[in-house]
Structure 1
Amino acid sequence: MENFIAWAFGTSSNTNSLGNQFRQKRMIFFKNQLDRIPKPIKILDIGGYEEFWINAGLTDRSGIHITILNLESSKTKHKNLISVKGNATNLSAYSDNSFDIAFSNSVIEHLYNSDQQLKMAYEIMRVGKYHYVQTPNKYFIIEPHYLLPYFQFIPKSIRFYILTKTKFSRFKKWSSNEAQQYLDEILLLSEKDMKELFPSSKLTKEKFMGMTKSFVVHNFEI
């Protein structure tokens, strides 16, 4: 039972979780695109982390250089990865098309409001010759951050109570600070929202039991 809970409810950073299995399947498409682009390839990962690329098998790969941008930089262990400090909504440190690929996985829904999401989308399309952006579907039956059905549509005050007073979400009681932070920052996106943010991009749907679990927008030539 414990192993099943870890598989079904673990975060995507857990290599044995269901969420990570979806992520690995999703990355097959991305890695296929890398094989089509002349080396060296410069990737800007907006809001990511080193473990993601380790899990994807793209560390220490010749001809692939990954810059991981977050609000704070951190040390990296792999020579083809560097970590820099920056803001997803303002990439003015980089010129137009300065990266071969601007990449972001499950980040754009963490920007508090639609204005910030629009700024991030603009910057992604500006600095990357190609872009690849994934985000959960607002209307999927399970809210992915809390793993509760249709939790995103419950009033915030009730969500806060559930998170801090029960163990319904991920079998734990959230601290007040952690719960409030997530409730403030997460703004899930619909298919319509993503098409408006990335109007010239291709949109693909990740399915689970016939339902759309998440979206990927990209401009790879396929």
Structure 2
Amino acid sequence: MATESTSETENSENLEESPYYTGQARFEFLVERISTRVRNKIYKSFAQLAKPTPELKVLDVGVTSNRRSDSNFFEACYPHKEQITAVGLEDASFLSEMYPGLTYIQTDAMQLPFADRSFDIATSWAVIEHVGSRERQRRFLSEMARVSRKLFVTTPNRWYPVEFHTVLPFLHWLPPSQFRQILKGLKKDYFAEEANLNLLSERDFIELLPAGMKVTTAHAHLLGPVSNLVLWAEWPD
């Protein structure tokens, strides 16, 4: 029991210190519940498309050191942990202990240390909006597509009425330069930087994929409008 209490305290302190979660602090419980609910829906879409088997090799790109219930959601849900290779910039080595059989590698997603077509599927859950410019987002997907045969990638919908990271309504519909200027005025400097938040519409998302991939889109809805975008892309046989 003491270990659990310490872990929860440390996690709470990390949340308070992390600029990523600053904008959500007042609404943390609600945001976490909503995020978990939406990701449950998205995982069902993944399961229908991927049809997991014990032989399927899966790469999950962009895991985090955070232990909030909506973080590293895929690792918790996927039934064949021994077939997951999870990668991220942060130290998330605890995942290998939490999910025996899982392989964790701390590395840069822009230069994945794997041979071409090493995996059957590469997934990434709401990471691409945090990798920076459109060119970096394109490189992010290209590298995932290089090492796998199929992609399952998600991101929040730019045209949803509320921007989930800042919990601000409608302002993110402005041109990005204006939105970032307002964020700076609101002291939300972290998300005012393109390197930390660069939202995507469905058209933007599709245009980032490597040429030649067959694309299927899916959506998650929250209270009506499309809240999250999903791309399922695969190389031709």
TM-score range, shorter chain: 0.7 to 0.9
Q: Secondary structure at the match of 2:231?
A: strand
Q: Give the aligned partner of residue 162 of structure 2.
A: 142
Quick one: higher RCO (CA 8 Å, sep 6+), 1 or 2?
A: 2
> Does 1:25 find its partner at 2:41?
yes
Distance in 1, Cα, partners of 2:62 & 2:81:
22
1:62-81 correspondence to structure 2 within 5 Å: 62=80, 64-75=82-93, 76=95, 77=97, 78-81=99-102
Normalising by structure 1, we get a TM-score of 0.76
Q: Residue 181 of structure 2 contacts residue 192 of structure 2 at CA under 8 Å; is this kept in 1? A: no
Deviation at 1:37, TM superposition (A): 4.8
Distance in 2, Cα, partners of 1:95 & 1:205:
31
Q: Which stretch shows the higher mean deviation, 153-162 or 81-90?
A: 153-162
**Identity percentage over the alignment?**
25
Q: Which stretch shows the higher mean deviation, 143-152 or 195-204?
A: 195-204
Distance in 2, Cα, partners of 1:54 & 1:103:
9
Q: Residue 136 of structure 1 contacts residue 214 of structure 1 at CA under 8 Å; is this kept in 2? A: yes
Q: Residue 105 of structure 1 contacts residue 135 of structure 1 at CA under 8 Å; is this kept in 2? A: yes
Deviation at 1:46, TM superposition (A): 0.6
Change (3 A) 1:155 1:189: closer
> Does 1:189 find its partner at 2:200?
yes
Letter in 2 for 1:116: R
Q: Give the aligned partner of residue 85 of structure 1.
A: 106
Letter in 1 for 2:225: M
Q: Residue 82 of structure 2 contacts residue 100 of structure 2 at CA under 8 Å; is this kept in 1? A: no
> Does 1:47 find its partner at 2:62?
yes
Q: For structure 1, list consecutive stretches of 5 or more residues without a partner in the other structure.
A: 12-16, 165-178
Change (3 A) 1:129 1:37: farther
Distance in 2, Cα, partners of 1:106 & 1:116:
15
Q: For structure 2, list consecutive stretches of 5 or more residues without a partner in the other structure.
A: 1-26
Letter in 1 for 2:207: E
Deviation at 1:43, TM superposition (A): 1.3
Normalising by structure 2, we get a TM-score of 0.72
Q: Larger % of helix: which?
A: 2
Distance in 1, Cα, partners of 2:228 & 2:85:
24
Distance in 1, Cα, partners of 2:92 & 2:34:
27
Letter in 1 for 2:121: I
Q: Secondary structure at the match of 2:214?
A: coil
